[in-house]
Amino acid sequence: MTIPPLPPARPPSALHLRVPTRILDRLETATEQHLTDTITTARTPADLRNTTGTVTATITRAAQAAHRIGALIARTITPPPRDPELPNLIPDSPSPADTLRLLQDLAIPDAVTRLLDDAATRLEQTTAPAREHLERTARRVWGYALTTIHTASNRGATWYARAAGYDLRWHTREDERVCPVCSPLNGRTATPATAFTLPAGTRTWPGFTGLPPAHPRCRCSVTPVRPAPRPRTPSTTHGTTRPPGRRALLDLLRRRRRPATA
């Protein structure tokens, strides 16, 4: 038996991210397998159009799971602030309403219908073997699904950062495949409210909303970081400035403590 060589050493931040992202990697592998099996078993253009419901359901389930996993990974990497005033008010995962908002933004049924309609039309017109065409279609649909999963997991991380009053840091995978769009963003921070802006002159992707993915098949992620001290501004409570998410939680707590007399 031969022992495979160890992978090359990675920078600390990538090592730090590697274990939690395995959960996401498993979701990606299972989703890719299911989509490929569904699409490549079609035989005719009508078969291919008939996979729309299954493909939509598969990608929707993956996005819902990725939203929760993204929040979980974020919480694992940067646990909630320890503050005697702040009991455990941050929920474990985004609410169903948060996930619904994400799904509305993603518009998965429309995208899948367009992709598969287009592929079925090409299959009607092609003289090449159907198998090749279906395998290419499966790869295109998987590319879309992967981008969707990454969008959902980063939205989960952003949900958590906002709830905990943290900022966000952009991470590329720090390997030789990182593209020129994402490379300058590695390590940059932003607040969940403002999110990230791409460097001037970057060719933008219509799907970019200030969070990774910056482009289709982008593998970048965001992690929560404790905010750097911000310039002091006049405040009503003890002259201190707290990040907005945390302050909102403390206000909520105070309102709860106050007897309901008004």
Residue 62 C-beta: closest distance to Zn ion, Å: 19
For the CB of residue 135, give the shortest distance to Zn ion in the complex, in Å. Answer: 26
Alpha helices in the chain (DSSP H): 12-40, 45-50, 52-77, 96-106, 108-125, 130-164, 244-257
Separation between Cα atoms, residue 229 and residue 19, nearest integer Å:
29
In the complex, least distance from residue 210 CB atom to Zn ion, rounded to whole angstroms:
13
Integer Cα distance of 216 and 236 in angstroms = 45
Give the shortest CB-179-to-Zn ion separation in angstroms. Answer: 6
Binding mask 143-182 for Zn ion (x = CB under 5 A): ---------------------------------------x
- 218 touching Zn ion, by CB under 5 A: yes
Give me the 35-74 binding string for Zn ion, x by CB under 5 A, dash otherwise: ----------------------------------------
Pairwise CA distance, residues 165 & 254, whole Å: 17
Tell me which residue has its CB nearest to Zn ion. 182
87: preceding bond cis by omega (within 30 degrees) = no
Shortest distance in whole angstroms from residue 174 CB to Zn ion: 11
Name the residue nearer to Zn ion (CB basis): 77 or 220: 220
Q: Is residue 220 near Zn ion by the rule CB under 5 A?
A: yes
Give the dihedral of Cα atoms 199, 200, 203, 205; nearest 10 deg: 60
**17 contributes a contact to Zn ion by CB under 5 A:** no
CA 49 → CA 53, 61, 161, 200, 243, distances in Å?
9, 20, 40, 41, 49
Question: What is the distance between the alpha carbons of residues 93 and 163, in angstroms, rounded to a whole number?
Answer: 10
| Minimum CB distance to Zn ion, residue 111 (Å) | 20
Q: Sketch the per residue contact string, 187 through 206, with Zn ion: x for CB under 5 A, - otherwise.
A: --------------------
Nearest residue (CB) to Zn ion, 34 versus 173: 173
Least Å from the CB of residue 125 to Zn ion: 34
Task: Kindly indicate which of the ranges 16-24, 72-80, 208-216, 238-246 contains the residues binding Zn ion, using the contact rule CB under 5 A.
Answer: 208-216
The DSSP-derived string for 29-60 is: HHHHHHHHHHHHT--SHHHHHHTHHHHHHHHH
Is the Cβ of residue 51 or residue 147 nearer to Zn ion in the bound state? 147
Segment near Zn ion (CB under 5 A); pick from 22-30, 31-39, 117-125, 219-227: 219-227
Which CB, 211 or 218, lies closer to Zn ion?
218
What does the alpha-carbon distance between residue 156 and residue 173 come to, in Å, rounded to a whole number? 19
Measured CA to CA in angstroms, residue 259 lies from 19, 70, 84, 253, 256 at distances of 45, 37, 21, 12, 8
Cα–Cα dist 190/168, whole Å: 5
Site residues, Zn ion (CB under 5 A): 182, 214, 218, 220
